[in-house]
Structure 1
Amino acid sequence: MVASNAIYSGLIRLHILHHASKEPIFGLGIIEELGRHGYRLSAGTLYPLLHGLEREGYLRSFEKRKGRHARRLYKVTSKGRQALREAKSRVRELFAELFEDE
């Protein structure tokens, strides 16, 4: 049995914050990035995550126009950077325990 995305939702959020801290991200781009790691997210799953992270102050979105086309980009905020730093420390500790017997 394969675990659902619900099991990994926290890790997916951290992955989103990680990439948004490197450069602005957009929905389809992050869906493809997560797909490279084996996560199959639909737009109907991803966009509520992005909107929630923005509502909570971890991401900020803005529109970038290229000719007639516009794309909504997301960038990490200072609150998001701080949360990512703290999460990395906690994840490191938890994962160390998960793999201590291997």
Structure 2
Amino acid sequence: MEEDFVFVANALAHEKRLRILEWLKDPVGNFPPQVDGDLIKDGVCSMYIADKLGVSPPTASQHLALLRDAGLIKATRIKKFTFYRREEAAIAAVAKRIKNEL
């Protein structure tokens, strides 16, 4: 359990990953409409996230993979693209643990 929390804390310990989580909180307000996938239901296409971050798609994918592996976001594959949305229950659990333990 402690190792899991350290892994999640590590995923949160980067400015770009924190920005991604912030932007995904309001995908409609932070990203343009998509041809495939609903911004709310399916999430935001990784290409849009990379563009907004100002990084290459492979770099964005590394950040997104860390957040996904930590359970903070969910990935959905549609056609040849991956879409990401927040896992609100997991984020709330992390926030509660930080509040209670720190």
| Superposition TM-score, scaled by structure 1 size | 0.55
Structure 1: gaps spanning 5 or more residues: 1-8, 36-40, 88-102
Q: For 1:74, what is the secondary structure of its paired residue?
A: strand
Q: Write out aligned runs for 1:21-32 (5 A).
A: 21-23=25-27, 24-32=43-51
Moved over 2 A (4+): 80-87
CA displacement at 1:44 relative to structure 2: 2.2
> How many residues get paired?
70
CA RMSD of superposed structures (Å): 2.7
- Counterpart of 1:42 in structure 2 is 56
Q: Distance in 1 between matches of 2:65 and 2:49?
A: 14
The one-letter amino acid paired with 1:76 is R
Superposed CA offset, 1:24-59 (max 9, x none): 222210121122xxxxx2222110111111010000
Q: Does the aligned pair in 1 maintain the 2:21–2:86 contact within 8 Å?
A: yes
Q: Does the aligned pair in 1 maintain the 2:75–2:85 contact within 8 Å?
A: yes
Quick one: percent identity of the two aligned structures? 19
**Residues 1:59 and 1:21: Cα distance change in structure 2 (over 3 Å):** same
Q: Write out aligned runs for 1:11-22 (5 A).
A: 11-22=15-26
- Structure showing greater Rg: 1
Q: Distance in 1 between matches of 2:52 and 2:97?
A: 23
- Counterpart of 1:71 in structure 2 is 81
CA displacement at 1:63 relative to structure 2: 2.1
**Aligned counterpart for 2:70 among listed residues 56, 77, 81:** 56
Residues 25-34 or 78-87, more deviating: 78-87
Superposed CA offset, 1:71-97 (max 9, x none): 21100002235657999xxxxxxxxxx
Q: For 2:83, what is the secondary structure of its paired residue?
A: strand
